[in-house]
Structure 1
Amino acid sequence: MRSAPVTPGGDLIRWVELPGAEPARVYVHGLGASSLPYFTGAALHPLLAGRRSLLVDLLGFGISDRPTDFDYSLEAHADALAAAIEAAGVERAQLVAHSMGGSVAIVLATRHPHLVRSLVLLDANLDAVAPGPQWMGSGRIAWYSEEEFLASGWAETERVVGPHWWSTMRLAGREALHRSSVQLCRGSEPMMRRQLLGLRIPRTFLYPADDGRLPGSAELAEAGVSVVAVPDSGHNIMLDNPDALARAVVAAES
């Protein structure tokens, strides 16, 4: 396990690194998750093994520190992740990023373009969402005020998300989970979709085929984003169909 301080107070982002050839790949988890359980299988897939791979936990999640004085905006997450990538001596990495991690990766590629050679986004959040009790993840968590979430929303969220997601969500800082949810629902400035459209690097967007046509897919394709509908998969594409993910990662580099 490796680590790097990423805030003025010295808070640490931690990651597990698999040695291999350059250029490196950086794997980034989604809300309430951790990269090691979600991405190890993908990083060791026969098509992807042998490359230097960093399985990074965002600040507030997994094995990384959980500061309570951090705002957990997408921009703050992106800058902290960029600091960790630079501390690792990585240049021009391929970012493979899921859900909220994909949103962070888009913002990072915009703000720190020298660090990113390509993006592979797994069902990433591209637009703002109005919080509400009808959602299961960030939208439901952001529906609480921070005080409500700390008092009772944390326990209620455990009942809603189920044991699989909770197995990693329970590792998150409570303030980190709530503030990240609020900021994810609010989105970035400019919005993640607009930033993705404007990037001039190889970009791939994977989403579950069973979800139907991806909103805005024609505009993404026109801007050069490779949009891939993944069969036999839900939101956790890296777990449900690792073969499809591996093929997309390789194709993004060709």
Structure 2
Amino acid sequence: MSDALLNHHTIVHGHRIATGVHGSGVPLVLVHGTPAHSIIWRRLVPRFVDAGLRVHLFDLLGFGASERPLDADTSIAAQLPVLRALLDHWQLDSTHVFGHDIGGALSLRLAIEDGRRLRSLTIADSVSYDSWPSPTWRAIRENCIEHALGDPDAHRETMTRQFKSAVADPARMSGELLERYLAPISGPVGQPAFFRHQVAHYDARHTADFATALPALRVPVHILWGGEDAWQPVRYAHRLHADIPGSTLRIVDGAGHFLMEDAPDVVAGEVVAYVRRSEAERA
């Protein structure tokens, strides 16, 4: 599933980024979050393609199938030039974007700094303001070195608990699916790289200016949120909605932080409808 989604590799600023392009029509760029990778889009991409969208996706630098360099900054701030370079590589002067978790914050940062490149933006369960790291992730980050070099079995147990808490029904995150989420962040390379490239950058300073920056946005923004999100409380969805002019909001009942796993049909339908509405308003 995830392997088929990533069907290309691109060198960006000297680093290899795993990418994929599927379908034809109106462009939509997908920006995943943490501790995920492109697997989180596997149930949405076919729906987007069937709806007539050309889907562009990638694994963030240091994540999933992309390069995990020893000396690279992989914070939200450092991922923004990578995203811009990919838009150039794909020859997307303007595009619709869908970002989840830190991918939502990264996409909002693009909207703040270079809004002309976005036809519309949908964000889902995004980190924002002072919302992150969540309590369980804060405890893990505070012991980052210990976890990075710790017992592999204990690490997998900890991450299994985290993944199960990301969905409304913990039983959903089990078996092969759980293993596919765990694979890039486990093992002698994946485990320390996960803490170096992801957990170490769980820092609200990257979103601290949202309260002042977001009211100036002139990009159409749709906000999706899992009603049972245990990592990013729903109150942040309402705060984002209040701060972003003209934004729309949909709370997805029965969905957790990984709402693409809990409610793929609802999420895909919301994104497609918002893209079509935005295209109609541009015409």
- TM bucket, shorter chain: 0.7 to 0.9
Compared CA separation, residues 185 and 125, structure 1 to 2 (3 A): same
**Displaced runs of 4+ in structure 1, greater than 4 A?**
129-132, 163-166
Q: Provide the rounded CA distance (Å) in 2 between the counterparts of 1:218 and 1:186.
A: 16
Q: Where does 1:151-162 land on structure 2 (aligned, <5 Å)?
A: 151-152=149-150, 156-162=154-160
Partner AA of 1:220 in structure 2: H
Q: Distance in 2 between matches of 1:153 and 1:200?
A: 48
User: In 1, distance between residues paired with 2:122 and 2:49?
Assistant: 15
Compute the TM-score of the two structures, normalised by the length of structure 2.
Answer: 0.76
Residue in structure 2 matching 1:229, options 240, 247, 251: 251
The 1:61–1:184 alpha-carbon spacing in structure 2 relative to 1, beyond 3 Å, is same
| CA-to-aligned-CA distance 1:125-184 (integer Å, 9 cap, x gap) | 11235768x50xx43432224x33331176543211216556334314534544432323
Q: Note if contact 2:220-2:247 (Cα within 8 Å) is conserved in structure 1.
A: yes
Mapping of 1:111-126 within 5 angstroms? Answer: 111-126=113-128
User: Is the 1:32–1:177 contact (alpha carbons within 8 Å) kept by the matching residues of 2?
Assistant: no
1:170 counterpart (170, 183, 189): 183
Cα pair distance change 1:81/1:109, threshold 3 Å = same
Shift of 1:224: 2.1
Counterpart Cα distance in 2 of 1:155 and 1:245: 34
| Paired position in structure 1 for 2:112 | 110
8 Å Cα contact 1:94-1:119 kept in structure 2: yes
| Contact 1:82-1:115 at 8 Å conserved across structures | no
Task: Give the 5 Å matches for 1:91-110.
Answer: 91-110=93-112
Say which SS state the counterpart of residue 158 (structure 2) adopts: helix
Distance 1:202 1:39 in 2: 22
Which residues of 2 match residues 99-248 of structure 1 at below 5 A?
99-129=101-131, 134-135=135-136, 138-145=137-144, 147-152=145-150, 156-162=154-160, 164=177, 167-172=180-185, 173=190, 174-188=192-206, 190-192=208-210, 194-210=212-228, 213-215=234-236, 217=238, 220-221=241-242, 223-248=245-270
User: Secondary structure of the residue that 1:228 maps to in structure 2?
Assistant: strand
Q: Secondary structure of 2:122's partner?
A: strand
Amino acid at match of 2:251: A
1:28 corresponds to which residue?
A: 31
Distance verdict in 2 for CA 1:244–1:113, change over 3 Å: same
In terms of fraction of residues, the more helix-rich structure is: 2
Provide the rounded CA distance (Å) in 2 between the counterparts of 1:116 and 1:224: 15
Secondary structure of 2:257's aligned partner: coil
Whole-angstrom CA distance in 2 between matches of 1:243 and 1:130:
28
| Structure 2 CA distance for aligned equivalents of residues 252 and 177 of structure 1 | 35
SS of the residue aligned with 2:184? coil
SS state of the match for residue 107, structure 2? helix
> CA 1:175–1:252 in structure 2 vs 1: closer, same or farther (change >3 Å)?
same
Offset at residue 120 of structure 1 (A): 0.9
| Aligned residue identity for 1:105 | S
RCO (CA 8 Å, sep 6+): is it higher in 1 or 2? 1
Identify unmatched segments of 5+ residues in structure 2. Answer: 1-6, 161-173, 278-283
Number of residue equivalences: 246
How far residue 189 of structure 1 moved from its aligned partner, in angstroms, is: 5.6
> Quick one: which amino acid aligns to residue 3 of structure 1?
H
In the other structure, the counterpart of 2:45 is 43
CA contact (8 A) 2:133 2:202 kept: no
Q: Which amino acid aligns with 1:182?
A: A
Match of 2:8 in 1: 2
Identity percentage of aligned residues: 24
CA contact (8 A) 2:62 2:197 kept: no
Contact kept in structure 1, 2:133 and 2:204, CA below 8 Å: no
TM-superposed CA distance for 1:194, in Å, is 4.5
CA contact (8 A) 1:128 1:191 kept: no
Q: Measured at CA, do residues 40 and 207 of structure 1 come closer, stay the same or move farther in structure 2, by a change above 3 Å?
A: same
TM score, norm. by length of structure 1: 0.83
Q: Once the 2 structures are TM-superposed, how far is the Cα of residue 58 of structure 1 from its aligned partner? A: 0.4
Q: Report the CA distance shift for 1:46/1:87 in structure 2 as closer, same or farther (over 3 A).
A: closer
SS in structure 2 of the partner of residue 244 of structure 1: helix
Give the counterpart letter for 1:188 in structure 2: H
